[in-house]
Structure 1
Amino acid sequence: MPSLSRIQRTRSSNREADIMAATVLITFGALLGIASGLQLLFIAIVETAVACLNMWLVADVFKVCPRAYFTSYYNRDCCVACLNMRLVAEVCKVTTFFLSSAVSKHGARLDMVHIQNSTLAGGVAVGSVCNMQIGAGGAVAVGIGAGIISVFGYRYLTPLLTKIGILDTCGVNNLHGMPGVFSGLLSVLFAALATTKEYGTSELETVFGAMKNVV
């Protein structure tokens, strides 16, 4: 019986705590210089609880494979995730450089806000589908889509939101917000397209835990 006077730490709980901390850190990026210390503390407490609830829903209720949260072991599933992430990231970088020059306010010169941020949007977009069989073509499409969403967000959406009083200090909406929603929609799409022909019964049940004993 674990003691209630101590916090029990395991490898799994440490990984989950790291994810919770990252969630709060990203939120702070949108509020730097805007919110007070007390407000940030309140946000940290509430968001940590909400993130834990989300983790429970994803892992225990919907039975999404925990490997989608980068907790995988070195097996075939991990290799697929690494290959997908690498291809998406590289395509997103190329897309970002091209679009940054095309829509730049500085006359075809690269905008360093895009280079520092939008080049990372591919990693966000592929996060929830990295261990799925999305194929090379799918990875390229995800990378291009993430680059377009992020660059256009910084160039056009952020100035519009600022004008109506919605502030985002570090442009979190363009790097994590919209690419994150894009990633969620992609997970629905690729999960709907998943078949035993592509994955095999064993791998399909591993990637999509809720399909165990169904296929």
Structure 2
Amino acid sequence: MKRILVILGGGRPKGNTRQLADAFIQGAVDAGHEVELVSLNQVEVKSCIGCNTCRYGKPCVQKDGFSELVPKIKAADLLVFASPLLFWTISAKLKAFIERFYCLAEEDTNPPLGRYEKYPVKDAALLMTSADDLFWTYEQAVSYYKFTIIHYIGFHDKGMLLAGGCGDTNGKPQISKTNHLKEAYKFGKTIYQE
């Protein structure tokens, strides 16, 4: 059994991204994992202000919901980042959450590739939804995820589900008309299968 923390980076309460995350969660729960969902619509996480006060073991000076999430992040085996595609990348709420990982960093006396710190070793996955489904739709979001989460922070990539073609931005969620919910359930159910 793994501990999985799903961070929902905005979107509508019953929208495409929430439905995709819920399908993933159901699959993971059915596989025997312990899963918790945190919606950044309900937990305020401000963006990093770059003050450097938090360096190496000190808490962030900002008083918001992130401090309550730190123990959950540290206890999790897998962090799942779930976001609608907004202006061709992840939501600002999810980016602010990721920026605050700075206060989780520990000093690294032998940093590889110019890194100055090390982070707790976790697994990571990305769930995203969008109206568009073009070959380049997720290029910027995937680039940010791979560079920041996987290469810089050093989490281990467990995969991505990029659910394009979920209806236009003015209408009701249409993810149920696609195969993405079945794919998300299978992703959650098999993410730790040998």
Q: Scaled by the length of structure 1, what TM-score is found?
A: 0.25
Larger radius of gyration: 1
More strand by percentage: 2
More helix by percentage: 1
Which structure ranks higher in relative contact order (CA pairs < 8 Å, sequence separation ≥ 6)? 2
